[in-house]
């Protein structure tokens, strides 16, 4: 008789690939990095759905190219927040597709309490700075304006603050003489594509109790 895999308290098995729901607003390059890491065997996971708040966001095309269910969902009247009926639609879609964790990949809205409660400790975001330095928008430009010698990226759990959740993974990028916002941002993005899969692996181990 075969012994079933050990289960976590929420019913997830230790050897089951992590089920990731992704939220985005733009090109989805970090989603592509997640797909690449899965294909290369560096991340034991599967993307179960992708949701965008912009109808023509290219992240939806990336998802469909990989055979992943992809949806544009109206996020509500606010341009900066996901709340009200929009938030409810997002939660319902994530749950319907079996998402265990939610990965924000360039999602340009503030996550509000209902989604935070539905996926407590299981929402991750990537930010282009070494948090807590330079939270908020266009962090690489903030770094250049400040004269910082180093920048980088941070993958963190999402809480009710702005880029304030517990850090999972950080990668450092030097600020070079002559850097422009574009050149610095490009080097930070290279590290983002490494950091996000690493952080998702770490979160999977925590959730599985491994």
- Please give the positions annotated as active site: 127
Question: What distance in Å separates the CA atoms of residue 15 and residue 28, rounded to the nearest whole number?
Answer: 28
> What is the distance between the alpha carbons of residues 173 and 140, in angstroms, rounded to a whole number?
11
Asked if 125 and 156 touch (Cβ cutoff 8 Å), the reply is: yes
């Amino acid at each position: 008789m075969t012994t079933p895999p050990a289960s976590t308290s929420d019913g997830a098995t230790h050897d089951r690939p992590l089920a990731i729901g992704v939220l985005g607003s733009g090109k989805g390059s970090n989603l592509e990095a997640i797909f690449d890491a899965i294909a290369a065997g560096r991340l034991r996971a599967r993307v179960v759905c992708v949701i965008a708040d912009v109808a023509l966001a290219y992240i939806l095309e990336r998802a469909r190219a990989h055979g992943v269910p992809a949806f544009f969902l109206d996020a509500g009247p606010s341009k900066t927040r996901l709340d009200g009926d929009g938030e409810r639609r997002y939660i319902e879609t994530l749950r319907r597709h079996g998402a265990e964790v939610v990965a924000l990949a360039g999602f340009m809205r503030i996550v509000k309490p209902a989604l935070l409660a539905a996926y407590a400790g299981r929402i991750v975001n990537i930010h282009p700075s070494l948090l807590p330095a330079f939270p908020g928008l266009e962090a690489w430009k903030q770094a250049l304006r400040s004269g910082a010698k180093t920048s980088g990226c941070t993958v963190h759990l999402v809480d009710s603050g702005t880029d304030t959740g517990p850090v999972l993974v950080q990668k450092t990028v030097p600020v070079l003489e002559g850097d422009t916002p574009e050149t610095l941002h490009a080097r930070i993005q290279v590290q983002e594509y490494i950091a996000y899969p690493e952080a998702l692996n770490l979160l999977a181990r925590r959730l599985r109790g491994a």
